[in-house]
Structure 1
Amino acid sequence: MTAALLNHSTVLTDHVFAVPLDHSRPDGEQIEVFAREVVAAGREGAELPWLLFLQGGPGSGSPRPIGQDAWLGVALRHYRVLLLDQRGTGRSTPANRQSLEARGTAAQQAAYLAHFRADAIVRDAELVRRRLLGEGTQWSTLGQSFGGFCTLTYLSFAPEGIREAFVTGGLPGLRTRVEDIYRTAYPRVARKNAAHYARCPQDVATVQQIAEHLAEHRVRLPDGSPLTVERFQYLGMLLGQGAGSQKLHYLLESPWIRSAAGPELSDTFLEGVRAQVSLASNPLFAALLEPIYAQRSVSTEGTRWAAQRLRGEFPEFDAEQALEAGRPVLFTGEMIYPSMFDLDPALVPLREAAHLLAERGDWPDLYDTERLAGNEVPVYAAVYDDDMYVDRDHSLATAHTVPRIRTWVTGEWEHDALRVSDGQVLEHLFAMARGEV
């Protein structure tokens, strides 16, 4: 069923598709995938090429457009856009603590969640393409961050469905071990911390004081969950965004309030922290972040909480040591730690399933390197010079390995440039496709 809705300067049409949970068993259990078609008002009947948007994540729903905001206005000049809620997200069949409880045991939940990686997302997209556009058709794709990972999976499994691909901050390493992901990530996060403290030197003492308070007191967020020093350090996720450093500084601006018992962290501050560290709106990110890097041809050892295992190689992130030495306390970045499943109310019910996913060693491959070596689909990719989330060198190695990938390496933007550049990043990629740059 579809429902058309006029939204300022765009016309939105909602689509719901039944897809197999396991595409190797097309007659087995079915789930729903939601997608929203967007076209510029007045062009509803025009013969426009399609652009599939693959959202970052994993586990994030597609944007909810308000008119032709951000990059969407640029895309709508040329395309009819399809915003796909990847399985488990948005209005697609949900996968969270509430829905997963009905799956049964932790083992059954883990087996279910194993069907929510890029390989299944790509097969969903192909089914949607055939149903919406027809057999023998092609569309263009735009992959942001994890959506770029999905793009390389798409080019591995079904390149015949893609006319051209655009990628922003999301060229993955094709044969990269999960340990190498974090061995390169921790130093990048350390650099972002250093840059933040250079811009906001007053935050050094504030963060030390907060960390000391958390180490000495039991503090709970407004949702009742504990705020530990390690959980507080997760605020570093902000540092990979264009305005993230400013947001972090403003959050740290007035953390204290004087109560009858003396100074304590204010409700306003704690609510701001909760909004950043809670994964209630995106539990799949916690459960699947490390498994999106797992491929059995690369390693059969499982991811085994790689971010936690590798953290000891970077003692500068040890808050206790930093406080004892009088050094700045560093925030962490895009790292998921097993303790999150002990503290976050949205994740606690998924703890056993997450441990099973971390121990799994037989993950199917996500990239077909032989097929990619013969790639004929043009790919235009923005690579950010000091991207905190996706390693620049891993991205460029892939671009050098896969034919027809053209890269634009820029130090002007951070990882969220597609959203915050007022369309400039997408305009540049479109110009590359037209041969203008």
Structure 2
Amino acid sequence: MLGTAQSHRQQSTRQFKGMRLTDHYFELPLDYSQTKGPCIEVFAREVVDLKKANEDLPWMIFFQGGPGFPANRPVFNGGWIAEALKTHRLLLLDQRGTGMSSRILPQTLANFPTPEAQAEYLTHFRADNIVRDAETIHHTLIGSDKKWTGIGQSYGGFCLLTYLSFHPEGLEGVIITGGVACVKRQIEENYRLTYQKVLEKNQAFYRHYPEDEAKVKEIVQYLGSHKVMLPSGVPLSPRRFQALGLCFGADGGFERIHYLIEKAFVDGPNGKEIAYDFLVEVEQLHAFDTNPIFCILHESIYAEGYATRWAAERLREEFPWTQVDADRFHFTGEMIYPDMLDDFAHLQPLKDCANILAEKDDWLPLYDLDQLAKNTVPVAAISYYEDMYVPIELSRETALHIPHFYQWVTNEWEHDGIGQEGGKILNSLLDKLAAPRL
């Protein structure tokens, strides 16, 4: 049974565009099995409609996608946040290690004396402890006698399935957008499906922009025969360029890559060369070094009692089209490869740490299948039929395993639908959450 935070401070309450925002900082255990051990600080921002700020509203807590990314920073009163504020007091949680929560960055990891110490520290930054943080914050903010609703985008949905597994008593309901995780499968089965989804996205991209096929091949050939340096001081390898396919699973992803490709070359003093603004944008499209959890702990979000051993890299040989010298160049997707630790300047010192985590074979459980099978908390989810990151086949399998689970399957949006039509999507899911058949 979890208790309250070791300390909680509230500060910086302000008004902004019809909302009241309050910052909360919680001192929480790094390791919940050693409550007298080291602590970390976890940040969350409370948001409420200014007109309802003094009302006793039900709470909703938001889990961001990732892993390794902070919660939304409200810059306008609209979208899904505005829809949530019609009925709820919203808590935007910076999951441990992200945002303002004891950040994990190359600089902070440099404080540890060895790669082994870095790896041991990072083992405490998965969904199991994110959920323990949330439930401890729940007890601290509103008390154990009240429940709140969880909403999770992408990896945030993974976290909520962990929440349902181990602390369902804290939840009034659950909303998941694009994040119904595969709870019954190991990582290889997930990647075999996602590789197929990525191939389909590549085929769609070239159908949409057939002129880009020759341009892409020209870029890759140039990168293979020239040492092209990125602004951060490392070479742009063909495989790092290939990883830009991560964008294909989001709305407008094809256009983002198309507009990047079309400006790849300029005429320099020695002839045609890669343009500087192209290189800057390549770096901006990747967040592996600014959000190192996304790279170093990515495969561990699937691991329960086994080592991932760089699963995405191991499975590449099953998909010859992923080779950079294939007849047709294909981009890759949300796959993390060990050479990324060479391709990003600030990740290079973390390569040994990442390899240690890839070989770790005693990861604790993330889900309790028996508890999920007897679930009584209503769940409403949207899953995207063409989702490149979270395969619909495995999402459907999970939804069928969990009682009181409504799943809306659509091809109207990509994985980031909540960012495109958030108000519409959340309104519909809240209605379904209250439906008697759940």
Considering the TM-score relative to the shorter chain, is it more than 0.5?
yes
Where do 1:136-151 residues align within 5 Å? Answer: 136-151=145-160
Q: Which residue of 2 aligns with 1:67?
A: 76
1:423 counterpart = 2:423:
yes
Change (3 A) 1:399 1:278: closer
Q: Which residue of 2 aligns with 1:156?
A: 165
RMSD: 1.1
Where do 1:26-65 residues align within 5 Å? Answer: 26-65=35-74
Where do 1:89-168 residues align within 5 Å? Answer: 89-168=98-177
2:285 to 239, 262, 276: 276
What is the SS of the residue equivalent to 1:347? helix
Q: Hey, what's the Cα distance between the residues in 1 that align with 2:229 and 2:246?
A: 20
Q: CA deviation at 1:175?
A: 2.0
Q: CA deviation at 1:8?
A: 1.2
Q: Which residue of 2 aligns with 1:435?
A: 435
Q: What are the ranges of 5 or more consecutive residues in structure 2 without an aligned counterpart?
A: 1-8
Where do 1:22-421 residues align within 5 Å? Answer: 22-296=31-305, 300=306, 302-322=307-327, 327=328, 329-421=329-421
Equivalent position amino acid for 1:23 in 2: Y
Contact 1:278 1:344 in 2 (8 A): no
Deviations, residues 320-344 of structure 1 (Å, cap 9, x unaligned):
122xxxx2x1000000100010120
Following TM superposition, the consecutive aligned residue runs of length 4 or more in structure 1 with deviations greater than 4 angstroms are none
Contact 2:127 2:301 in 1 (8 A): yes
For structure 1, which segment, 419-428 or 395-404, has the greater mean C-alpha deviation from structure 2 after superposition? 419-428
Q: CA deviation at 1:421?
A: 1.3
Change (3 A) 1:43 1:31: same
Equivalent position amino acid for 2:428 in 1: H
Equivalent position amino acid for 1:338 in 2: P
What is the SS of the residue equivalent to 1:390? coil
Q: Hey, what's the Cα distance between the residues in 2 that align with 1:376 and 1:151?
A: 14
Q: CA deviation at 1:436?
A: 9.7
Contact 2:184 2:398 in 1 (8 A): no
Equivalent position amino acid for 2:326 in 1: Q
Q: Hey, what's the Cα distance between the residues in 2 that align with 1:433 and 1:95?
A: 35
Deviations, residues 331-376 of structure 1 (Å, cap 9, x unaligned):
0000010001012012112111100000000000100011111100
Q: Which residue of 1 aligns with 2:5?
A: none
Equivalent position amino acid for 2:356 in 1: L
Q: Hey, what's the Cα distance between the residues in 1 that align with 2:370 and 2:346?
A: 40
Contact 1:9 1:67 in 2 (8 A): no
Q: What are the ranges of 5 or more consecutive residues in structure 1 without an aligned counterpart?
A: none
Contact 1:231 1:277 in 2 (8 A): no
Q: Which residue of 1 aligns with 2:3?
A: none
Q: CA deviation at 1:176?
A: 1.0
Q: Give TM-score scaled by structure 2 length.
A: 0.96
Q: CA deviation at 1:277?
A: 2.8
Equivalent position amino acid for 1:308 in 2: E
Q: Hey, what's the Cα distance between the residues in 2 that align with 1:339 and 1:7?
A: 44
Q: Hey, what's the Cα distance between the residues in 2 that align with 1:280 and 1:290?
A: 16
Counting matched residue pairs gives: 428
Q: Hey, what's the Cα distance between the residues in 2 that align with 1:387 and 1:278?
A: 20
Q: Hey, what's the Cα distance between the residues in 2 that align with 1:424 and 1:308?
A: 38
Contact 1:51 1:80 in 2 (8 A): yes
What is the SS of the residue equivalent to 2:232? coil
What is the SS of the residue equivalent to 2:318? coil
Q: CA deviation at 1:13?
A: 0.2
Contact 1:138 1:162 in 2 (8 A): yes
Equivalent position amino acid for 1:429 in 2: L
Q: Hey, what's the Cα distance between the residues in 2 that align with 1:193 and 1:279?
A: 22
Q: Hey, what's the Cα distance between the residues in 1 that align with 2:297 and 2:178?
A: 19
